[in-house]
Amino acid sequence: MTEPLVDVVIASWLGAAGSADQLELCCESIRGFTAEPHRVLVERSFDSAAVNRNRALARSTAPFVCFLDDDAWVTPGWCTGLLELVTRGDRVAMAGPKLKLEDGRIFCCGIEHRPPSSFLPIGYGDEDDGRFRAIREPFALPSTCLLVRRDALEAAGGFDPGYGSCQWEDLDYYLRLRRLGFRGLLNGAVTVYHRHLFRSSTYESNSEHFFRTWAGLLPALAAVGA
């Protein structure tokens, strides 16, 4: 059996309505559109996204891991386009795609930081009219679909289980990778769709936890991708 080049880690929350159908669509798209040897590692429970991802990471052995939300689905060439960015032999260890809503509008082309405390998805709600096809280095990339090289994963460790349910834990994780000196690029020629159904009930408490951790550290990170 061929060893996987990429482990696709999917955290699936049992409390979300329709999550089983979403997960099946996600996995079907991976099976249909991933040319590289890969393995899908699903953790499905009532625990938080951070805890579920950490469980899957403990089983992962591939040189690359791609975090993928269970309400996302990939398109042809997605994995190849992301791997191209993280196999250059430099400090680029994270890569993400252009994320689109079901109706074809932009969901997120990276995350913009507006000091002191605003984080905005780049392009949200815009038409996909060709402006977002470039390779760029945003302030951060979400874990909706995020490919990470093994050396960066091992340096960063797992997600912080202090974040409940979901949201903010992925920005925390990404910024820890950046503080370790790793860089991330967005490939706007790669498209992944995202359903984006709800805001977590722990959004506010997660936000407070994030800013307690990062308020004094954000200025030093602002220059990269500015």
Whether 128 and 180 have beta carbons less than 8 Å apart is answered as no
What would the pLDDT profile of 100-125 be if each residue is shown by its tens digit? 999 999 999 999 999 888 999 999 99
| Tokens representing residue 107 in the block | 């969901």
Distance CA 88, CA 101 (A): 30
Whether 68 and 148 have beta carbons less than 8 Å apart is answered as no
Task: Work out the mean pLDDT of the chain and round it to a whole number.
Answer: 92
Question: Model pTM?
Answer: 0.94
Highest mean pLDDT among 17-26, 91-100, 195-204: 91-100
Between helices 49-59 and 169-179, what is the axis angle to 10°?
50
The answer regarding whether domain 6-221 maps to CATH 2.60.120.1030 reads no
What would the pLDDT profile of 169-194 be if each residue is shown by its tens digit? 999 999 999 999 999 999 999 999 99
* pLDDT confidence band for 40 (50 / 70 / 90): very high
- Taking alpha carbons only, the member of 125, 123, 104, 33 closest to residue 74 is 33
Q: What is the mean pLDDT of residues 199-208?
A: 85
Residue spans of the domains in the chain: they are 6-221
Distance CA 148, CA 82 (A): 9
Phi, psi of 25 (to 5 degrees): -60, -40
Whether 127 and 105 have beta carbons less than 8 Å apart is answered as yes
Whether 172 and 160 have beta carbons less than 8 Å apart is answered as yes
Whether 113 and 119 have beta carbons less than 8 Å apart is answered as yes
Considering only residues 209 and 90, tell me which one the structure prediction assigns the higher pLDDT.
209
pLDDT of residue 226: 41
